[in-house]
Amino acid sequence: MLKPRIEKVTVNMSVGKSGEPLEKAATVLEELTQQRPCKRKAKQTIRDFGIRKGEPIACLVTLRGEKANVFLKKVFQAVDNKLSKDRFDRYGNFSFGIKEHIEIPGTKYVPELGIHGMDVSVTLGRPGYRVKRRRHARSKIGLGHLLTRDEATLFMKDEFGVEIT
């Protein structure tokens, strides 16, 4: 029950515009993850950037299970298998960014689609975490069962060979 595992990997591409640039980003994200992305809307209007509230400006994919592991192995190669320890929060979750999607191995540059960056967020957990989120008979998780930053870094070193600096 104490062995950490990857609950989900969330990949976000924020374009800042709707229309054609967002469709191109969604196409790139679908090619990388083999899943159809969902669009996210702006929460507020920002006149300086030309963004209106409710306008779709980003796309997002959530990966779970084996798809998440395969995607993470490819993405860690794009960042040279290195992560800063500052990327981890106190519950063991971490996030990092990729400036250009063509840095990921196996990805080819397509001039019609352009180059896009993305944010990758990884949520770690342990078996038994579901009792905190379920609807029926919801319960608290004890402090001894919560995942810490040190345990998460050790898990990433062992499972994926990531160097934590």
Domain housing 10: 5-164
| pLDDT greater than 90 at residue 131 | yes
Instruction: Write the CATH number for 73.
Output: 3.30.1440.10
Angstrom distance (rounded) from CA 36 to CA 33: 8
Confidence of residue 19 (pLDDT cuts 50, 70, 90): confident
Cβ distance 33 to 13 under 8 Å? no
Q: What is the mean pLDDT of residues 133-155?
A: 93
Nearest CA to 56 out of 98, 13, 97 is that of 13
| pLDDT greater than 90 at residue 121 | yes
Number of domains in the chain: 1
Helix (H, G, I), strand (E, B) or coil at 31: helix
Q: What is the pLDDT of residue 1?
A: 86
State the pairing for strand pair 38-41/94-98.
unpaired
Global model pTM greater than 0.75: yes
| pLDDT greater than 90 at residue 106 | no
- pLDDT tens, position by position, 27-84: 999 999 999 999 999 999 989 988 899 999 999 999 999 999 999 999 999 999 999 9
